[in-house]
A and B are shown apart, each in its own frame.
Chain A
């Protein structure tokens, strides 16, 4: 790490606790939802679906998942992303969901385009994820990749994970049910299939 001497101490993270929905996922709220798309959003519609599991593979019924992603052209809706690609006014790219009693969560979104990585590399299409839960004093970062993307082979982040089984926990499985394209992405805290988490 380079010399980094900030003036102030960071504020520490604390758990979201069991009652976060009261503040962060209010009933009927239009601002924070698990639906990222409108009727006019560009791109291939997909559903992200998965289960959050603890060390004993018991479902976690009070986790919150947030996602952040580029639009279908591979541009983030953020002032610092000045790439020469179109913005989609119908796509902000942020979603928030909680798990249900069975530990399941879901998002309705579109498949993102690829975005540049470090040293002029290209990253395979991916969705950035933060996991919060009761019992987590600090949140965890992970990413969702898509199993049908050839670009995964060369993705600088995926290939930085040495163990193939660990790497594979980031690759969502494609299913198609009644015309809906579903990518399944389970999140597991421990065990053989422990999800790869990042120090981002």
Chain B
């Protein structure tokens, strides 16, 4: 009997930023220069880590309280929900979503962040959740603040939430950032603008969702994430 696994479509390099993007000043010394070596996907690339519900503790998806100090984070409460999909629109069920972000004042709970803005003892800025059978996820947080960084004179990062996803294989791994609609800093941000294609950049901006908002409590945003989808040609091996 044969073992057959459908391969994944390629990383779309019109969508993903190149390694060398000079406007983001840290890329020149940290970018490979030799051409990437084509790799035909095998069992090594078509499998990948599977994290289950046991990777998520109760409360992990509520960043307003999960610092565990008994208090609530300061800031504008938000609910972020969305679907994790493959390129053909198929949902990615039961996959782990990890998020991290700055607090409402634009400071990360990290020793290397020395930005002169207050830390919030009730906000660690890290969360985890799983997608359900329909590929939907949801977490509660506060809207992160923008913050200055050293890339160029008067450089500010637009407000963003970092996302880490696995999808169903080693090659579907994705780390990205979610931005907020209407942010005036987006056109000035070299990280956001490292994405070559305008339509792809739009993918990174959440949509305000009044229907997700909770009356008297939190504003809602919708943010879908699209991972690489499967091709028709399978990897095949005698079992």
A: residues with CB less than 8 A from B are 1-2, 4, 6-24, 26, 31, 54-56, 58, 60, 62, 66, 68, 70, 76-84, 92-94, 115-118, 120, 123, 126, 128, 130, 132-141, 143, 157, 160-161, 166, 189-190, 194-200
Closest to B168 in A: A80
B32-70, CB under 8 A of A: which get 1 and which 0?
Answer: 111011111111111111110001000000000000000
B201 to chain A, nearest CB (A): 7
Instruction: Check A10–B191 contact: CB distance below 8 A.
Output: no
- CA distance in complex: A129, B3 (Å): 24
Point out the residues of chain B lying under 8 angstroms from A66, CB to CB: 173
Q: Which of B30, B164, B170 lies in contact with A133, CB distance below 8 A?
A: B30
- CA distance in complex: A9, B88 (Å): 9
Q: Which of B41, B42, B174, B191 lies in contact with A115, CB distance below 8 A?
A: B42
Contact-residue bracket for chain B: 35 or more
Instruction: Check B175–A16 contact: CB distance below 8 A.
Output: yes
Answer whether A157 and B39 are a contact pair too, CB < 8 Å, given A12-B201, A23-B100.
Answer: yes
Interface of A is mostly: loop
Instruction: Check B110–A12 contact: CB distance below 8 A.
Output: no
Instruction: Check A2–B37 contact: CB distance below 8 A.
Output: no
Instruction: Check B44–A123 contact: CB distance below 8 A.
Output: yes
A95 to chain B, nearest CB (A): 9
Q: Which of A12, A22, A128, A161 lies in contact with B200, CB distance below 8 A?
A: A12
Q: Which of B15, B27, B162 lies in contact with A16, CB distance below 8 A?
A: B162
Instruction: Check B239–A196 contact: CB distance below 8 A.
Output: no
Instruction: Check B204–A10 contact: CB distance below 8 A.
Output: no
- CA distance in complex: A164, B55 (Å): 42
Point out the residues of chain A lying under 8 angstroms from B49, CB to CB: 68, 78, 92-94
Point out the residues of chain B lying under 8 angstroms from A77, CB to CB: 50
Q: Which of A13, A22, A161 lies in contact with B16, CB distance below 8 A?
A: A13
Instruction: Check A160–B29 contact: CB distance below 8 A.
Output: no
Answer whether A134 and B19 are a contact pair too, CB < 8 Å, given A16-B162, A196-B34.
Answer: no
Point out the residues of chain A lying under 8 angstroms from B26, CB to CB: 134-135
Partner-contacting stretch, out of B72-80, B130-138, B180-188, B220-228: B220-228
**B85 located at the interface, meaning its Cβ lies under 8 Å from any Cβ of chain A in the complex:** yes
A105 to chain B, nearest CB (A): 15
Instruction: Check B32–A138 contact: CB distance below 8 A.
Output: no
Interface residues of B in 181-211 (CB under 8 A from A): 191-192, 194-195, 197, 199-201, 203-204
Instruction: Check A120–B238 contact: CB distance below 8 A.
Output: yes
Instruction: Check B98–A24 contact: CB distance below 8 A.
Output: yes
A111 to chain B, nearest CB (A): 15
Point out the residues of chain B lying under 8 angstroms from A116, CB to CB: 42-43, 237-238
Could you list 6 A-B pairs, sorted by A, with CB under 8 Å?
A: A10-B228, A23-B125, A56-B29, A68-B49, A130-B170, A196-B34
Instruction: Check B37–A9 contact: CB distance below 8 A.
Output: no
Point out the residues of chain A lying under 8 angstroms from B32, CB to CB: 140, 189-190, 194-195, 197
Q: Which of A6, A15, A161 lies in contact with B191, CB distance below 8 A?
A: A15
Instruction: Check A14–B175 contact: CB distance below 8 A.
Output: yes
Closest to B11 in A: A199
Instruction: Check A198–B16 contact: CB distance below 8 A.
Output: no
Answer whether A12 and B19 are a contact pair too, CB < 8 Å, given A21-B110, A54-B29, A83-B3.
Answer: no
Closest to A69 in B: B44
Answer whether A6 and B3 are a contact pair too, CB < 8 Å, given A14-B204, A135-B29.
Answer: no
**B9 located at the interface, meaning its Cβ lies under 8 Å from any Cβ of chain A in the complex:** yes
Instruction: Check A123–B42 contact: CB distance below 8 A.
Output: yes
B220 to chain A, nearest CB (A): 20
Answer whether A22 and B125 are a contact pair too, CB < 8 Å, given A8-B226, A194-B34, A200-B39.
Answer: yes
B12, B33, B162, B227 pick with most chain A CB within 10 angstroms: B162
- CA distance in complex: A24, B51 (Å): 14
Instruction: Check A76–B47 contact: CB distance below 8 A.
Output: yes
- CA distance in complex: A70, B48 (Å): 10
